[in-house]
Amino acid sequence: MASVQYREIDDRSGRFHVLLAAFGALILAALGAAWTMEHRGHIVTGMSNRIVWGVPHVFAVFLIVAASGALNVASISSVFGRDFYKPLARLSGLLAFTLLAGGLAVLVLDLGRPDRLVVAMTRYNFKSIFAWNIFLYTGFFAVVALYLWTMLERRMNGYIGRAGMLAFLWRLVLTTGTGSIFGFLVGREPYNSALLAPLFIVMSFSFGLAVFVLVLMSAFRWSGRALGDVVLNRLGNLLGVFVAAVLYFVAVYHLTNLYMTHQHPFERFILVEGGAYTALFWLGQVLLGGLVPLVLLFAGGANRSRGRLVAAAASVIAGGFAQLYVIIIGGQAYPQVMFPGKVVASSFFDGVVAAYTPSLPELALGTGGVALALTLTVVALKVLPFLPRSLADGDVDSAAT
């Protein structure tokens, strides 16, 4: 493992340009959607004054959370001293950078007035978790860039451990801040919980590793490089542990709410009577994003096929979107209790679940953020040595213990 050689992808088949064209079309569609929302207003979306965070925020938060988790592979290598993961560290850092860029692009374009971003960058309200996150996100770019520099520049290799520790601590704080955006909203029963911060951390581990696995397998297949079962089995086992951890924290979160009497109406809404949100919770989040990956990853033991690993990672990602949809949009749709312990009646839909249907511009904007992240990843793999020349079993067996 000490003699790992890295090379950029040298592909003359034209697939590189086909990928760029496909992703470019999605990015242009996202820009068109942002322009439409900017000029015609958010009336063209399914959002309202009750559902102010729509599908674009689901995409954005997923990408931001996955960016933090994608760096986990590099952290295991440099922070915890597991040399087995060292050849994967560069790709891990690259995905952390590109996924965050895609997520923040969606957030900026979904503001309605992206030109007002300069106000948020120059006037800070340090009582706002959003102000904290501006520093966390921009700082993450700088920290990951420094981390990648220590890995790419031979003269800086001696600083990999310290840069890795800084990146590890920063991403924990970043994901805590992202979860706290919701956890600090004490006026809404679905969000007011300290458990959301650790839940978002374990979600980042699961989502980020699932994205990493799919990109790793696709990149090695694209470049025709050897990718052995030893690496994939280790990543698959790790993904299974993270998926189980997410299910555990979800169970703790809902059991905690069920213990508190005033949270029973919300739990009844999400778990039983929420319609689409209940279906997404049980079928999307729990079944597709949790139980199905666990069966695919652990049923049959060491005989796991590559197809099952791909299916498990894809299920984790699909379940992750369902989970964030339930958290973000379901949490807003649930009627806000304005005066606890009082009965409120008015003509302003008090006690009524807010309606929301995603519009085409919202879906286009969110998909464009994913396309931007993948475009940056593909270009970087094409021009810079992020991938090892081989991860065949014979090249990694010595570090598999």
Residue 307 lies in a domain: yes
- Spell out the residues 6+ positions from residue 298 whose beta carbon is closer than 8 angstroms to its own: 240
Residue 1 lies in a domain: no
Assign 344 to helix, strand or coil: coil
| Dist. CA 370–CA 314, nearest whole Å | 14
Residue 148 lies in a domain: yes
Instruction: State both tokens at 349.
Output: 């839909």
Q: What is the DSSP letter of 355?
A: P
CA separation, residue 93 to residues 77, 145, 161, 237, 297 (Å): 12, 8, 14, 21, 25
Total domains in the fold of the chain = 1
Angle at 94 between CA 88 and CA 97, to 5 degrees: 140
274 φψ region: left (φ > 0), alpha (ψ -120 to 50), beta (else): alpha
Residue 108 lies in a domain: yes
pLDDT in tens for each of the 401 residues of the chain?
446 888 888 877 788 889 999 999 999 999 999 999 888 888 899 998 889 899 999 999 999 999 999 999 999 999 998 889 999 999 999 999 999 999 999 988 887 666 777 776 777 777 777 778 888 999 999 999 999 999 999 899 899 999 999 999 999 999 999 998 888 887 788 888 889 999 999 999 999 999 999 999 999 998 889 999 999 999 999 999 999 999 999 999 999 999 988 889 899 999 999 899 999 999 999 999 999 999 999 987 656 789 999 999 999 999 999 999 999 999 999 988 776 667 777 667 767 888 999 999 999 999 999 999 999 999 999 999 999 998 988 777 544 43
CATH code of the domain covering residue 354: 1.20.1630.10
Query: Which residue segment(s) compose the domain that 58 sits in?
Result: 6-395
| Dist. CA 95–CA 374, nearest whole Å | 9
Residue 76 lies in a domain: yes
Instruction: State both tokens at 166.
Output: 């800084």
Residue 401 lies in a domain: no
Residue 400 lies in a domain: no
Q: 227 - beta bridge partners? A: 391
Span between the terminal Cα atoms of the chain, in Å: 13
Contact 190, 333 (CB under 8 A): no
pTM of the model: 0.93
Residue 21 lies in a domain: yes
